[in-house]
């Protein structure tokens, strides 16, 4: 009981401290997707071959200095990282040993990391914490303790976060290619959600960055010709 009370008071204090500093707690989902919505294995051929996926590494030829600079700046603003088990395993195997993109590597390696997993019991990556108990309550608490909580990849987790209305912003990187197969970001079971575009930017190799905020439920109209 005392531990729960202390944790609750600590969370309340952190929330008040962030408010006093004028910092808005936000959960930001950042995703790299093909034009047909595939998010699987953008980084390398062996990153995620589940389902016989053969197109791993599709992002690399389309990455340019300008887009990498924005990705680096976005990650630099991150106060904590929230990941599903699959993405955590991929990141934990790569980023501690990374020899390129040092600024991104340092940020990811040193940031507090929270992992949603039913199968994991131990987490080896530095500053990693396994989420225990009710996921939606724990994520709400994590948001109160940090200014910007980022989610990268973690497709199943993203659907859960959307379902519980915990996502504040979507950063979508859309790349100019069609893959046809692979895990899709918004597949069957996606919660109907209205979005408001807050910024957009195109890059030399054809990628487009779109930033959206949640805008309640979708609105519906009627375009049929009457009379």
Q: What is the pLDDT of residues 17-29, one digit of tens each?
A: 444 444 568 999 9
Got the DSSP string for 108-143? Answer: HHHS-EEEE-SS-----STTEEE--S-HHHHHHHHH
Return the CATH number at 117. 3.40.430.10
Determine, yes or no, domain membership for 102: yes
Total domain count, the chain: 1
Q: Which two tokens stand for residue 222?
A: 């009627």
pLDDT in tens, 176-222: 999 999 999 998 888 899 999 999 999 999 999 999 999 999 999 99
The pTM assigned to this predicted structure is: 0.86
Question: Please, which pLDDT band fits residue 45 given cuts at 50, 70 and 90?
Answer: very high
Q: 20-29, 140-149, 152-161, 215-224: which range is least confident on average?
A: 20-29
Determine, yes or no, domain membership for 86: yes
Among the listed residues 167, 220, 158, 217, the one whose alpha carbon sits nearest the alpha carbon of residue 190? 158
The reported pLDDT for the residue numbered 24 is 67
By percentage, how much of the chain surpasses pLDDT 70? 89
pLDDT in tens, 3-22: 444 444 444 444 444 444 44
Determine, yes or no, domain membership for 62: yes
Read off φ and ψ for residue 107, nearest 5 degrees.
-65, -50
Determine, yes or no, domain membership for 225: no
Q: Give the residue ranges of DSSP H helices in 28-134.
A: 65-76, 85-94, 102-110
Determine, yes or no, domain membership for 10: no
Q: Which residues constitute the domain of residue 179?
A: 23-214
Determine, yes or no, domain membership for 78: yes
Determine, yes or no, domain membership for 14: no
Determine, yes or no, domain membership for 118: yes
**Residues, the chain, total?**
227
């Amino acid at each position: 009981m005392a531990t729960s009370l202390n944790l609750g008071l600590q969370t309340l204090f952190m929330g008040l401290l962030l408010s006093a500093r004028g910092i808005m707690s936000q959960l930001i989902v950042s995703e790299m997707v093909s034009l047909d919505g595939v998010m699987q294995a953008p980084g390398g051929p062996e990153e995620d071959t589940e389902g016989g996926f053969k197109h791993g590494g599709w992002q690399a030829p389309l990455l340019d200095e300008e887009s990498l600079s924005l990705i680096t700046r976005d990650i630099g603003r991150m106060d904590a990282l929230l990941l599903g088990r699959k993405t955590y395993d991929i990141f934990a195997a790569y980023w501690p040993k990374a020899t390129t993109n040092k600024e991104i590597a340092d940020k990811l390696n040193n940031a507090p990391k929270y992992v949603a997993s039913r199968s994991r019991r131990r987490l080896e990556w530095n500053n990693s914490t396994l989420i225990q108990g009710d996921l939606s309550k724990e994520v709400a608490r994590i948001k109160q303790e940090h200014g910007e909580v980022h989610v990268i990849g973690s497709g199943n987790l993203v659907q859960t976060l959307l379902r519980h209305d915990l996502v504040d912003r979507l950063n979508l990187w859309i790349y100019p290619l069609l893959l046809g197969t692979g895990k899709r970001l918004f597949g069957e079971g996606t919660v109907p959600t209205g979005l408001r575009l807050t910024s957009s930017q195109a890059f030399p190799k054809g990628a487009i960055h779109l930033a959206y905020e949640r805008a309640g439920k979708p609105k519906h109209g009627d375009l049929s010709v009457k009379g």
